[in-house]
């Protein structure tokens, strides 16, 4: 999962902020969504160099983002393909019903035209098939919705399991 101890005496490339300039990227790093949610992470760039990711807490990296290192190098973020479940429905109401049931379980969901994607889970697949939806497996970059209470490029919870909240989050279970 791109976590490796240093193998040489060379200093790590420290990726510390998003780059919003127009400088060309000098390298890239391919990461699954789980790793792109972390603010502190040791990664291996696609060219084999090691780097340390040290971003402000709460930032979520998306495919296409660019990071600037302390020394000014720019690294492009690539969203790695992952095993996902994809739900398709020709009727918007049926797809909305699937989104409701996934959201009620706090599942991170990517929304597309006529489809929803979530991390592959056979229990969720069976539940949605039981609702009459077509569910299949795909390997693709996972870019779930950030959520209504999150700033752009952020995912508030980072979890995908069923539980109750002790706070009033404005929703019922």
CATH code of the domain covering residue 46: 2.60.260.20
pLDDT given at position 166: 39
CB distance 124 to 118 below 8 Å: yes
pTM of the complete model: 0.74
Would you say 160 and 107 are in contact if contact means Cβ atoms under 8 Å apart? yes
Residue 37 falls inside a structural domain: yes
* Contact between residue 132 and residue 88 where contact means Cβ atoms under 8 Å apart: no
Q: Say what the pLDDT of residue 6 is.
A: 45
Domain check: are 40 and 113 in the same one?
A: no
> What is the pLDDT, as a whole number, of residue 44?
95
Gyration radius of the chain over CA positions? 18
pLDDT for the residue numbered 14: 86
Q: What is the pLDDT of residue 148?
A: 60
Does residue 56 sit in the same domain as residue 104?
Answer: no
Contact 66, 18 (CB under 8 A): yes
In a domain, 159, yes or no: yes
Q: Report how many domains make up the chain.
A: 2
pLDDT of residue 16: 86
DSSP code of residue 126: H
| Phi-psi domain of 85 (left: phi exceeds 0; alpha: psi -120 through 50; beta: other) | beta
Domain annotation covers residue 90:
yes
* 115-119 vs 110-112, strand pairing mode: antiparallel
Last residue of one domain, picked from the residues 54, 79, 104: 79
97 vs 142: CA distance, rounded Å: 21
Domain that holds residue 108: 80-173
**Contact (Cβ atoms closer than 8 angstroms) between residue 35 and residue 63:** no
Residues 48 and 124 in one domain: no
Q: Are residues 42 and 95 in the same domain?
A: no
- Mean per-residue pLDDT pooled into runs of 10, the chain (173 residues): 48 81 87 94 94 90 92 93 95 93 95 95 96 95 81 42 39 43
Collapsed DSSP state (helix, strand, coil) of residue 94: helix
What are the residue ranges of helices labelled H in 57-143?
92-104, 122-130
Among the residues of 23-171, which ranges form H helices? 33-36, 92-104, 122-130
CATH assignment of the domain containing 143: 3.30.70.790
């Amino acid at each position: 999962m791109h976590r490796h101890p240093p193998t040489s005496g060379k200093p790590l490339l420290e990726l510390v902020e998003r780059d919003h300039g127009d400088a060309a990227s000098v390298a890239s790093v391919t990461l699954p969504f789980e790793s792109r949610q972390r603010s502190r992470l040791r990664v291996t760039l696609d060219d084999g160099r090691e780097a340390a990711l040290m971003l402000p807490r709460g930032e979520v990296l998306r495919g296409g983002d660019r990071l600037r290192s302390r020394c000014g190098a720019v690294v492009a973020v690539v969203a790695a393909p992952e095993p996902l479940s994809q739900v398709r429905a020709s009727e918007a109401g049926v797809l909305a019903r699937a989104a409701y049931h996934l959201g009620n379980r706090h599942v991170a969901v990517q929304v597309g035209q006529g489809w929803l994607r979530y991390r592959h889970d056979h229990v969720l697949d069976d539940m949605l098939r039981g609702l009459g939806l077509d569910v299949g497996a795909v390997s693709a970059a996972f870019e779930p919705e950030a959520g209504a209470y999150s700033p752009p490029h952020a995912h508030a919870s980072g979890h995908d399991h069923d539980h109750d909240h002790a706070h009033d989050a404005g929703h019922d279970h």
